[in-house]
């Protein structure tokens, strides 16, 4: 199981800064290893363990049940790519729903778009949001926007019990273990499809194509059965396993390349660190080993 190294407490109860290291493990393979200078906070919520640690190169890092989520000194690529790709594809994304997204980074990016009338974020773990507000204030700026509608509920139950239709739904989920496991299943994706308007778009993080090959393959087999348009796009994410991360773009109508709103992008002049119009298009170009993981329908 992924976890912060337990050897950081010395006999005197003080942090031993010389020997504290964090490593993510993936079925026998190691991911990023970081020297930790400080254990800032460690708490147990109703749903998971939440750690905030600090390192020289990455600044503060948020760790949920042993997996790195966000940090101070990355390029914000995950939040920008999960948000701006669908929002610059849909011609009028007024109603947006985020399932998960507890660090609020995606929420903040979504609300950079003036055509969004409301962004509802449904996060199961209130403590993740509170921890992020305390330690990652740049990511949580969107909470100050009057268009932000924050709900602390189970995302699966919320989708099942709501009749509202959305233009864009974003599944900003942690790994498919723990509280997020049910949200990677075909039944849930079908419910999301049914909660979209007739030209709606769903995007979801779909793990590392290098470390999580079987998960990626099974996810896309399910998604192409549900959505008429289903494509993978990727980004560089330095703190995530293999530093290469994927997203699914699933739509009832809009193609992410052919329907890219280039004029809207040019007028908005977004303040971003990773996303731009070239990245929007180039992110859908996939290496051969990734293409081999996907069903033929996802490659059209």
> Token match 């303040």: residue?
271
**Dihedral over Cα of 74, 105, 229, 220: its sign:** positive
Find residue 52's DSSP bridge partners.
41, 62
Strand stretches in the chain, DSSP E? 3-4, 21-26, 29-35, 38-44, 49-55, 59-64, 67-71, 95-100, 118-122, 148-151, 166-172, 196-205, 229-236, 244-251
Active site residues: 172
Round to whole Å and give the CA distance between 68 and 14: 24
Strand stretches in 56-151, DSSP E? 59-64, 67-71, 95-100, 118-122, 148-151
Contacts of 111 (CB under 8 A, 6+ apart): 119, 142, 145, 147, 148
* Eight-state DSSP code of residue 273: S
Round to whole Å and give the CA distance between 142 and 153: 19
Q: What is the strand order of the sheet 21-26 is part of?
A: 3-4, 21-26, 29-35
């Amino acid at each position: 199981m992924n976890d912060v190294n337990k050897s950081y407490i010395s006999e005197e109860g003080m942090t031993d800064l010389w020997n504290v290291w964090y490593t993510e493990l993936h079925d026998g393979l190691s991911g990023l290893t970081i020297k930790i200078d400080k254990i800032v906070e460690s708490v147990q919520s109703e749903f998971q363990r939440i750690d905030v640690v600090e390192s020289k190169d990455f600044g503060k890092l948020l760790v949920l049940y042993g997996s790195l989520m966000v940090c101070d000194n990355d390029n914000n690529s995950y939040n920008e790519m999960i948000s701006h790709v669908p929002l610059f594809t849909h011609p009028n994304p007024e109603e947006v729903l985020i399932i998960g997204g507890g660090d609020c980074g995606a929420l903040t990016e979504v609300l950079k778009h003036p055509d969004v009338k409301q962004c509802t974020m449904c996060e199961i773990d209130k403590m993740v949001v509170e921890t992020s507000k305390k330690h990652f204030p740049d990511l949580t700026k969107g909470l100050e926007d009057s268009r932000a509608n924050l709900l602390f509920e189970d995302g699966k139950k919320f989708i099942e019990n709501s009749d509202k239709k959305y233009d864009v739904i974003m599944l900003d989920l942690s790994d498919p273990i723990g509280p997020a496991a049910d949200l990677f299943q075909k039944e849930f994706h079908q419910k999301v499809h049914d909660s979209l308007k007739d030209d709606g778009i769903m995007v979801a993080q779909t793990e590392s194509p290098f470390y999580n090959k079987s998960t990626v393959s099974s996810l896309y087999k399910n998604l192409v059965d549900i959505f008429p348009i289903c494509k993978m796009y990727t980004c560089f994410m330095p703190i995530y396993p293999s530093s290469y991360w994927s997203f699914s773009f699933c739509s009832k109508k809009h193609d992410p390349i052919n329907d890219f709103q280039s004029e809207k992008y040019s007028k908005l002049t977004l303040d971003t660190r990773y996303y731009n119009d070239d990245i929007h298009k180039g992110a859908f170009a996939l290496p051969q080993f990734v293409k081999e993981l996907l069903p033929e329908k996802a490659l059209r």
